[in-house]
Structure formats: structure tokens, C-alpha cells
Chain A
Amino acid sequence: MDERFSGFGAYILYTVTAGMMLFILAPLLLVMAASVSDSYFVTFPPQGFTLKWYAKVLQDRDFLEAMRLSILLALGTTAGSLLLGVPAAFALVRGKFFGLAAIKGFLLSPLIFPALVTGLALLQVLTKLGSQDARLNLLIGHVVVTSPYVIRTVVTSLQLVDENLEDAARTLGANRLTTFWRVTLPQIASGVAAGGLFAFMVSFDNYPVTMWLANSEYSPVPLVLMRQLVNVFDPSVPAMSTIIILMAMVGVLLLEKLVGLRRALAA
């Protein structure tokens, strides 16, 4: 296939790569297969074909409530992290002030901090403050962990913006807002969209922060799924999982369309 790989080395490379692709896909495909199997317990090989587990899941009040909460929370998180993160990215790229590198490091530090500890620390402070609304607490926690992603993607795309175009617009009489809206924003739009999409997906799947801040009344999807894992053994759990996998696939394809996956994820 490629003249750079040949002989025994190539054999190893392709075998390991193919094996890893199988390793990555196997559990996901098995979950999807189990979700349409016509048996009361999840077994291998899956037997028969039915969509009744989806029907059951789509009537499950707990799951639907969790879905609604998770989507609203992810939307709120996206809005919050964009509102805070995009201006911060501007300051990091365009600003020239003392301690810029330190501030950048600080703003990105939630990325290397174990999220589990971020959530626990936040729970302690929110408890002391007497903040009892789980929805608000979750929103705060999710914005903490998602905003670095927004900052990172927006910083990357801002660095590619041609400032001459902005100067030209200003010279031609556009005010700063118009210049931002008509000249700068279109150039960083894909970066902002990728950051927002990232924030949405990270929030939707987040477990380690969510587990501290949710309560029995407001439990997002990952928590409800975890509870079902322990208590329910019929294929409705794979059906829920498959719905989540399909939603993730849509997200991945959108991200690939918007900016290209490797660029969106490049650290």
C-alpha cells in the first residue's frame, strides 16, 4: 500500500492497527447489537430482533427526564463557556500585559486537574454557600470543566486571523462592534462552533463532576445510566446506551465537518 512500510515491519504495523480498530469498536458494536436482541437478559450471541426495548426506553419517565435535563444543562454550559471563554481567548491572543503566560496557564489548568477533585472541591464551597439548586450547581461545575476547551479552540483559530482585514474595516469607518461581527467573527466562526460543540459534548457525558453536584431530583443521563446498570438486566440499558452512541456519532461527524477532527482535538 505504501512504499514506506515493507516486509515484516509492515506486517506488524497493519496487524496491530487492525486489532486496535477491532478493540475500539467491539464493545460499542456489542452494545448496539444487544439493544435489538429479543431476550430478557443480555447474552452473547444476541438472539432475534426487536425494537421493543427502544419502545420501553422512550416511555421511561426517569430516562426522558434525565435526557431533558442533560440537554438543557449542556446548552446552558455551552452558552456559559462561550460567553466567558471567547472574550478570554481574545485577551490571551490580542492582549499584551504582564503575566500573560501565567494567566493562560491558569485558565487552562482545569484540563490537567482531575475532574473528580474539581467537582468535590466545588461541592464543598457550594455547600458552605448554601447553594441548594442542583441545576445551578451543575451548570457552574460544567462551565468550569468545559471553558478551557472553548478557550483552546478559539485561541487556535484567533491566531490564524489576519489583523490587516480588521484594520481595513476600521479604516473604512466600521466601528469596533461591526468590525468584530462582520470581519473577525466569520474568520473564527468554525473555531467558536467547534469549542461550543465540544463544551456541549463534554457536559453531556460528564460524570466525575456531575456525580458530586447532582441530587435525586436532578440526575443527568450518565448518572441515571449508571444506576440502571446496577439494577436492570434487560436490554433496555443497551438501548439507552445506543441512543447515546448515536448522538455522539452525530457530534463527531459535525465536528469533522466544521474543523476536521485532528485539528479540533490537537492539544
Chain B
Amino acid sequence: MTTSDDAVAVLGVQAPPVVRRASRWRLALPVGLLAVPMLAFLTYFFFYPALGLLLSSIQTQDSRGIIGRPFTLAHYARLVNVELYARVLWTTLRISIVTSALATVLAYPVALVMVKSRPMITRIITLIVIAPLIVSVVVRGYGWQLVLQNGPKGMLNWILMTLHIVDAPISVLYTEAAVVIGSLHVFFPMMVLPLASALGKIDPNLEDAARMLGAPWWKVFLRVTLPLSMPGFVAGFTLVFSLTAGSFVIPAILGGASAVMLGNLIEQQIFVVYDWPFGAAIAVVLVGLVLAVNGVSMWLLEGRRLRRPE
């Protein structure tokens, strides 16, 4: 409390010592307690339900729909062994990895231009990149449905046919490619923002030095900019991967029957088949996947295993 003592001295006000001691005591106790309502709420409505789901994933559901003993790992085995379900797992992994990789390649140029342009351009790019983030995923999925529509009335096909690039309409909608395109649109900001923030922290003198020493632009990028922006890349990749792996709306709208992801399989098991333990097991696998990727990313970021720009 040195600062208030100074203030007391400067202002010549005598604060009653008894009151101050009481207030200091009160200050120490309640501040931490302010987190208690939030903690209690999340424990009861987030942590406890998550444990409950984990528990039902190793239990058995009887014919009346009651979940209980015996404990079993059969639901997990089913996900891996039944080809129909295993394929969903692989599709999810494939779509998530391809989307994150594409997002990385495309986000670097955007983030670079965003960071290094004049303020006005930076502002416009930021606004365009971020604006869709706040538009409902359903609306964005619908927009892509209109763009990719199969048949000559879709925007993409109309453009391709008008420019005589193709003679007959191509079918993109209801394929994995459509899901990748939609996911890329939805999660692209999650890659650009961390990248831009990492790129913004790089000392421009380092790049200038490399350039003055005669390095061509691509060498400057590969040897200076890229290594120094790794923390942003790791953070962005993790976000895009986790969010894509857990999506439901985009594969439901754009993937149809040919690109079913884990989220859609869970929904089907719960709402259509009413198989809670199996649905819970798929959910646990999804969470495990996401937590594993986040764990690796935290290990990379916090262990100073990446060179950070200071």
C-alpha cells in the first residue's frame, strides 16, 4: 500500500489506521472469492456433465434405455472396427488436416499484407476477414450451397460455363471438397489473426538486414519471417483443426451423405438411433483428438521450443 501512503503524504490527509487495517483484511479475502459463482456454475454445468458423458461411454444401455453396468469398451471398439464408422473418423481427420493446411498456405499472404500495409488497407482487410466470423455458420453454409450448387444454375458452374472452362456443369456440392471449402471460409479468420499477431511482433530490422545482405524475397521469408512466425502458425493451426474436427453444420449442409463427420454421427446416434453410450464414445474420441492437438500445441508454445520474436 505504498502508493496510498504517498497519496496520504502528498494530500496531507490522515487516514484512520484502524479502518485501513480492516480494509486490507477484507481486500485479501473476497477478491479470490469473486470467482466462486463462475467456478461453481462451470463445475456443475460443464465439468460434471463432461465426466458424466465419459462415464456413459463405457456403460451399457438396456432395452428400456437405462444406462448402467456392466462397464465395457465395446462402443470404442465398434467405432474403430465397423467400417462405416471408421470411415467417418478418417473423413473427419482428412477434412480437418486438409482445411488447416490450406488455411495456413492462404493465410500467410493475407496476414503479411494485413500487417505491413498502410493503416487504411489494414483496416479494410481486418474488417473483411473478421466480418464473416460473426455471421451465423448456417448462413455461410447456405451461401456456399448457392455458390457450389450442382447443375447449370449454380454460380460456380455458371461462371465456369460462361468462360467455357467446362462444357458440362461439375458436381462439387455434397463432396468432401465442398466441406473443405465451407470450413475454410468459416475458420479462415482463426488462422489469419494469430498469424498477423505473430508477424506484427517480428522486428522489421531483421528482414531488412537479410535483404541488405543480398537475400532474395523468398529466402528472407523462408529463413527469417517463417521461423519467427511459428508461434502464430501453431496457434492458428490448432484452432482451425479443432474447430473443423468438431463441426456439424458445414458437413450437414455441404457434405450430404458423402462427407459425414464425427459431429453428424454423434447427432445421428443420439437423435435417430437413441444409442447414448455409442454417441458418448464418439464424443469422447472427438474430445480426445482435439485435446491431443491442443496439448501438442501448448507443449510447442510454452516450452520455448519455438524461437519467439522478442
Q: Residues of A with Cβ closer than 8 Å to B?
A: 1-2, 4-10, 12-14, 16-17, 20-21, 23-28, 30-31, 34, 41-45, 83-85, 87-88, 90-92, 94-97, 103, 106-107, 109-110, 112-118, 120-122, 124-125, 128, 140-141, 143-144, 147, 151, 163-164, 167-168, 170-172, 176, 201, 204-205, 207-208, 211-212, 221-222, 225-226, 229, 237-238, 241, 244-245, 248-249, 251-252, 256, 261-262, 265-267
Contact = CB atoms under 8 A, between A and B. Distances in A.
Given A28-B140, A112-B294, A147 B45 contact: no
B31 A90 contact: yes
B42 A171 contact: no
Interface residues of B, number: 99
A1 B118 contact: yes
B155 A30 contact: yes
Given A112-B294, A207-B138, A144 B46 contact: yes
Nearest to B8: A171
Nearest to A88: B38
A241 B135 CA distance: 9
Given A43-B153, A120-B270, A207 B248 contact: yes
A142 B266 CA distance: 20
Chain B interface main SS type: helix
B246 A124 contact: no
Nearest to A115: B246
B136 A248 contact: yes
A22 B263 CA distance: 29
Nearest to B279: A120
18 contacts: A4-B116, A5-B116, A17-B109, A21-B128, A25-B128, A27-B144, A28-B139, A95-B35, A114-B242, A114-B283, A115-B246, A116-B267, A116-B286, A120-B53, A124-B49, A207-B137, A225-B142, A241-B143
A256 to B, nearest CB: 7
Contacts of A168: 3-4, 7
Contacts of A164: 3, 7
Given A44-B154, A167-B4, A252-B130, A225 B290 contact: no
Contacts of A144: 41-42, 45-46
B127 interface: yes
B49 A226 contact: no
B193 A42 contact: no
B217 A2 contact: no
Interface of B: 1, 3-4, 7-8, 11, 13, 15, 23, 26, 31-35, 37-39, 41-42, 45-50, 52-53, 56, 106, 109-110, 112-113, 116-118, 121, 125-140, 142-147, 149, 153-155, 158, 185, 188-189, 193-194, 196-197, 204, 207, 217-218, 221, 235, 239, 242, 245-246, 248-249, 252-253, 263, 266-267, 270, 276, 279-280, 283, 286-287, 290-291, 294
A87 B34 CA distance: 5
Given A85-B38, A91-B31, A205 B193 contact: no
Given A91-B33, A116-B263, A13 B137 contact: no
Nearest to A175: B23
Contacts of B242: 112, 114
Contact of B248 (A16, A106, A205, A208): A208
B33 A27 contact: no
